[in-house]
Amino acid sequence: MPHNKIPSTGRYVNSGSGPTIQPIDIGHPHYVGLVDADTAFWSLVRRDSLSDVLRDSALLTSYMRKRESFRKEMHRLRFGLKPSAVYFNITERCNLNCRYCYIPGDMRRNGKHMSEDKVIEALRTLKQYFNKTIDRKLVPKIIFHGAEPLLNKKALFTAIEKFGKDFTFGVQTNTVLLDAETVAFLKSKKVSIGISLDGPTAGIVNKTRASWSGEGVFEHVMKAMELLRSYDAWSVICTVTTENMRSLPGFVNFLHKNEVPTCLLNVVRCTLPSARKIKPDDAVVARHFIDALETSYKLYKESGRKLVVGNFANILISILAPTARRLMCDISPCGGGRSFFALAPSGDIFPCSEFIGLKHFKGGNIFKDSVKDILKSGPFKLVTERKVEDIEPCRRCAIRHFCGSPCPAEAYEMNGGMNKTGSFCGFYEEQARYALRLIADNKHTAFLWDGWDRGTKEIFNVI
Amino acid sequence: MENSKKSNKGETKINKSDIIASRKTCSADGTGLSHYVLMDKKTK
């Protein structure tokens, strides 16, 4: 009679049904990494103890007791989440023509606003959907995003007034229309505010971020930063390209001096061809990025005040507490279409804003179709079913669950398919190695928000 | 330097200082994209 029992005790590492533990050089003088990629288990072992640890150590015995629970935890995180956030574009238009924008230029220049009535109708539908699907203790999130949401300010204000108890709101803006009155309103409603800025000087910023007539935005951003100083729910988002990567350490100095609590230094998404012209080389951008992180560490040690680089903090957290991560690009499947989705001004719904402009990724329309059906649509499945196990070389990469091979839009549009990597494999490798070096040197908490682990429980510890 | 010896259970016992490994867990509610507003949990 056939049976499925695997004839292996699972006792040995890297054979039979034992764990696949990959050693990785993290560039540390004393420690080497050991990773079971499937469960995102990691440990750092002194180089001269490596063979003893792999033989039959207490570390691996302890891990084997936890292995199944770690595997289940990763499975829940990767396949068990329900959407709890929507990126809501209330206008197609933008008053800027940034070189790397993933929204087509014609749409940004000549597009339409969503009417106030339609914004309200859409939020009512989303409220009903979330009431049925997510835990009552969780408040769903709506992030007004661009194009430039403040171009449709009246609808935005009405929405926040009307649905303040139903959603947590955020606004991402280029700051051109972010005046004192707008800031006062958003602060009074405790709305998170993200502003876009790519460098510490007008000369750098205006190379990539300018109006249709070529006027730069640096002065607008400086005024906005002054208005936001002392507010605790704002951040600066920088898109890293060939044009500004060398200035990243100086930029971190600038942001810290201006008391910015959090920034994101996101390498440019290469979904559309225009962005690929300013795509940096992986190794070069990694060097400047890590220099910037080192600068943030030095500033913290000197001043006692942190400037958290949020996208890197997220990678650290993906190692230390996988389920506590806040950003969902760096995991596979990514958050697109499964923990959030994007709503365009026409009512069309896409797995992520990155796909707005790519009509074949439209899952349906909020005014015509049910959200439930849209989430199960073919275009959504293309994204939600993309996983590192199906991608070469990710399926044998030790850091595949610290990276996630982002982004599916890039993989599809730039590299030829969902089973391809995203644009910046090498950059993620360097970030994961740096994160593990910081843990080895016990410096990592300096790079994380205070209280980052509030609400977490320790389930493994060998230090 | 001798770093390890056999324990009573036959496992290779490594000096604790030779190993760093930890993991924390919580209920997962990750929602954010890398190029959007970072939703700070203390906002609400």
List pLDDT tens digits, range B11-42: 555 565 789 999 999 988 767 665 556 555 54
Q: Can you give the C-alpha Rg of chain A in angstroms? A: 23
Question: Position A236: which residue type?
Answer: V
Average pLDDT over residues A232-239: 92
Tokens of A240: 């890293």
pLDDT of residue B8: 56
Q: Which residue of B has its CA nearest to A82?
A: B29
Work out the minimum CA distance from B29 to partner chain A, whole angstroms. Answer: 7
Average pLDDT over residues A149-159: 97
Burial environment of residue A49 by CB neighbours within 10 A (0 to 12, 13 to 18, 19 or more): buried
Give Cα separations from A440 to A252, A301, A306, A325, A426 (angstroms): 24, 18, 20, 20, 21
pLDDT of residue B39: 53
Average pLDDT over residues A445-450: 95
Burial environment of residue A381 by CB neighbours within 10 A (0 to 12, 13 to 18, 19 or more): middle
Work out the minimum CA distance from A309 to partner chain B, whole angstroms. Answer: 11
pLDDT grade, residue A55 (50/70/90)?
confident
- Asked if the model's pLDDT at residue B5 lies above 60, the reply is no
Which regions of A226-300 does DSSP assign to beta strands (E)?
Answer: 234-240, 262-267
Angle between helices A310-320 and A425-440 (to 10 degrees): 70
pLDDT of residue A335: 95
- Asked if the model's pLDDT at residue A242 lies above 70, the reply is yes
pLDDT tens digit string along A121-149?
999 999 999 999 998 888 999 999 989 99
Task: Give the Cα separation of A164 and A191 in Å (integer).
Answer: 9
pLDDT tens digit string along A158-201?
999 999 999 999 999 999 999 999 999 999 999 999 999 999 99
- Asked if the model's pLDDT at residue A12 lies above 90, the reply is no
Query: Cβ atoms within 10 A of the Cβ of A415, count?
Result: 14
Average pLDDT over residues A400-414: 95
Tokens of A258: 């201006």
Task: Give the Cα separation of A207 and A371 in Å (integer).
Answer: 40
Phi, psi of A143 (to 5 degrees): -115, 115
Q: Which residue of B has its CA nearest to A134?
A: B29
The answer to whether A432 and A399 are in contact (CB under 8 A) is yes
Least confident of A145-159, A208-222, A368-382, B10-24: B10-24
Per DSSP, the three-state class of A89 is strand
Task: Give the Cα separation of A140 and A23 in Å (integer).
Answer: 40
pLDDT of residue B37: 60
Question: Position A336: which residue type?
Answer: G
Contacts of residue A158, defined as CB under 8 A and 6 or more positions apart, other chains included, come to A116, A119, A120
A43 CB neighbours in chain B (<8 A) are 19-21
Q: How many residues are present in chain B?
A: 44
pLDDT of residue A286: 98
Question: Position A461: which residue type?
Answer: N
Q: Which of B16, B20, B40 sits opposite A233 (nearest CB)?
A: B40
What is the 3-state composition of chain A as percent helix, strand, coil, each rounded to the nearest 5?
A: 45, 15, 40
Average pLDDT over residues A260-265: 93
pLDDT of residue A18: 84
Task: Give the Cα separation of A337 and A377 in Å (integer).
Answer: 10
Chosen from B12, B13, B23, B44 to mutate, greatest number of chain A CBs within 10 A:
B23
Burial environment of residue A80 by CB neighbours within 10 A (0 to 12, 13 to 18, 19 or more): exposed
Question: Position A239: which residue type?
Answer: T
Phi, psi of A84 (to 5 degrees): -135, 10
Work out the minimum CA distance from A194 to partner chain B, whole angstroms. Answer: 5
Task: Give the Cα separation of A96 and A424 in Å (integer).
Answer: 26
The answer to whether A17 and A10 are in contact (CB under 8 A) is yes
**End-to-end Cα, chain B, rounded Å:** 54
The answer to whether A332 and A388 are in contact (CB under 8 A) is yes
pLDDT grade, residue A431 (50/70/90)?
very high
How high does pLDDT run on average in chain A? 94
Per DSSP, the three-state class of A330 is coil
The answer to whether A316 and B24 are in contact (CB under 8 A) is no
The answer to whether A237 and A221 are in contact (CB under 8 A) is no
Q: What is the pTM of this model?
A: 0.93
A322 CB neighbours in chain B (<8 A) are 23, 25
pLDDT of residue B9: 55
Least confident of A305-314, A397-406, B15-24, B28-37: B28-37
- Decide if A49 and B14 are in contact by the 8 Å CB cutoff: yes
- Asked if the model's pLDDT at residue A207 lies above 90, the reply is no
Q: What is the largest CA-CA distance in chain B?
A: 54
Average pLDDT over residues A269-278: 91
Question: Which of B35, B1, B42 has the alpha carbon at shortest distance from A143?
Answer: B35
- Decide if A168 and B24 are in contact by the 8 Å CB cutoff: no
Average pLDDT over residues A73-85: 95
- Asked if the model's pLDDT at residue B2 lies above 50, the reply is no
Q: Which residue of A has its CA nearest to B5?
A: A52
Give Cα separations from A382 to A68, A151, A340 (angstroms): 28, 32, 15
A31 CB neighbours in chain B (<8 A) are 20
Task: Provide the percentage of residues in chain A whose pLDDT is more than 90.
Answer: 83
- Decide if A49 and B44 are in contact by the 8 Å CB cutoff: no
Q: Is A136 left (phi over 0), alpha (psi -120 to 50) or beta?
A: alpha
- Asked if the model's pLDDT at residue B10 lies above 80, the reply is no
pLDDT of residue A324: 92
Torsion of CA A398, A402, A405, A409, to 10 degrees: 170
- Decide if A323 and B27 are in contact by the 8 Å CB cutoff: yes
Average pLDDT over residues A228-255: 95
Average pLDDT over residues A367-385: 98
The answer to whether A126 and A133 are in contact (CB under 8 A) is no
